[in-house]
Amino acid sequence: MALAEDLGPNGDLTSCLLIPENQIGTARLFSRVAGVLSGGVLLAPLFGRVDPRVSVKLALEDGAELSPESTIARIAGPARSILTGERVALNLVARLCGIATLTRKFAAACGRARVTDTRKTTPGLRALELYAVRCGGGRNHRFNLSDGILIKDNHIAACGGVGRAVQLARAGAPHTMRIEAEVTSIEQAREAVEAGADVLLLDNMAPPAMRAVVEELRGQAVFEASGGVRLETIGEIGATGVDIVSVGALTHSAVSLDLSLDLAAA
């Protein structure tokens, strides 16, 4: 879809007019800044879709640390085809590198708790963006709505309370599936656990309140912190004793890494 979007109905007019079809070229794809690599595995299939004569040799594996001028891959084949695929390759890999780089920062700052993503992803790119989270040292939460039962505030409002919502979920869920409930107070946490919740999502709670929930209900549930988590705050949140910190910013606020592709002169 990305290639179709970029090529449009008439293909790469500029490259077709300027570069002979059989002119061979070599290119180097590299990072201009420090970061974490993700998406290198996409390069060969992407350029192969443009032209099967293009070959890609990766210099680094996904998850590797990048420094300024780090070579990610060397690409060889028809020069016209390399340039046709250039922008899509850079857009995708730079986006995934940005997510992996940000995830590694959050994971390093969190401490013992597990850092996970959320469903706040770019439509159509979720599989790639969640892969980038793993490259950065994070873990995945739910890939889609069918992956688990997560009772949020609007579900609770519709059911008339967190206890009632958990009871309904418990009554209809497969016995192998855990039930997670969002809570915003110690009272809601108690109600959810009493109703049979396996995981408590501590939503936008201050660290002292999180710690109080964890200390009182330890051993009765898994604890996940979520809501407005920032690099400056994740260390304090992780220190409350929660098991998981889910961070929407990993995918919705990551800045693409500055990558470049240079074609050798003819």
Report DSSP letters for 94-112, one per residue. HHHHHHHHHHHHHHHHH-S
* Domain spans of the chain, in order of start: 2-106+255-263, 109-252
Q: What is the mean pLDDT of the chain?
A: 97
At 9 the pLDDT is: 95
Structure tokens at 113: 């708790």
Please say whether the dihedral angle defined by the alpha carbons of residues 16, 21, 24 and 26, taken in this order, is positive or negative.
Answer: positive
Mean pLDDT value across residues 157-164: 97
How far is 251 from 266, CA to CA, in rounded Å? Answer: 39
Q: Is residue 4 over pLDDT 90? A: yes
At 254 the pLDDT is: 97
Catalytic, out of 57, 152, 178, 230: 152
Q: Residue 232 catalytic?
A: no
How far is 195 from 68, CA to CA, in rounded Å? Answer: 53
Amino acid type, 189:
A
At 154 the pLDDT is: 97
The Cα-based distances of 178 to 67, 114, 146 in angstroms read: 41, 18, 12
Catalytic, out of 182, 190, 211, 224: 182
Q: Tell me the DSSP string of the chain.
A: -HHHHHHTTT--HHHHHHS-TT-EEEEEEEESS-EE---GGGHHHHHHHH-TT-EEEESS-TT-EE-TT-EEEEEEEEHHHHHHHHHHHHHHHHHHHHHHHHHHHHHHHH-SSEEE--S---TT-HHHHHHHHHHTT-B---SSGGG-EEE-HHHHHHHTSHHHHHHHHHHHS-TT--EEEEESSHHHHHHHHHHT-SEEEEES--HHHHHHHHHHHBTTBEEEEESS--TTTHHHHHTTT-SEEE-THHHHSPPPP-EEEEEPP-
Q: Residue 126 catalytic?
A: no
Q: Is residue 190 over pLDDT 90? A: yes
Q: Residue 182 catalytic?
A: yes
- 109-252 — its CATH code? 3.20.20.70
Q: Residue 198 catalytic?
A: no
Which burial class, exposed, middle or buried, applies to 170 when counting CB atoms under 10 A from its CB (0-12, 13-18, 19+)? middle
Give residue-wise pLDDT tens across range 76-110.
999 999 999 999 999 999 999 999 999 999 999 99
Q: Is residue 211 over pLDDT 90? A: yes
Catalytic, out of 28, 105, 120, 142: 120
pLDDT band at 266 (very low <50, low <70, confident <90, very high): low
Catalytic, out of 12, 191, 203, 224: 203
- 2-106+255-263 — its CATH code? 3.90.1170.20
Catalytic, out of 28, 51, 74, 87: 87
At 5 the pLDDT is: 96
Structure tokens at 138: 């994070």
At 196 the pLDDT is: 96
Q: Residue 80 catalytic?
A: no
How far is 103 from 158, CA to CA, in rounded Å? Answer: 34
Give residue-wise pLDDT tens across range 50-86.
999 999 999 999 999 999 999 999 999 999 999 999 9
Evaluate whether 2-106+255-263 and 109-252 have a shared fold: no
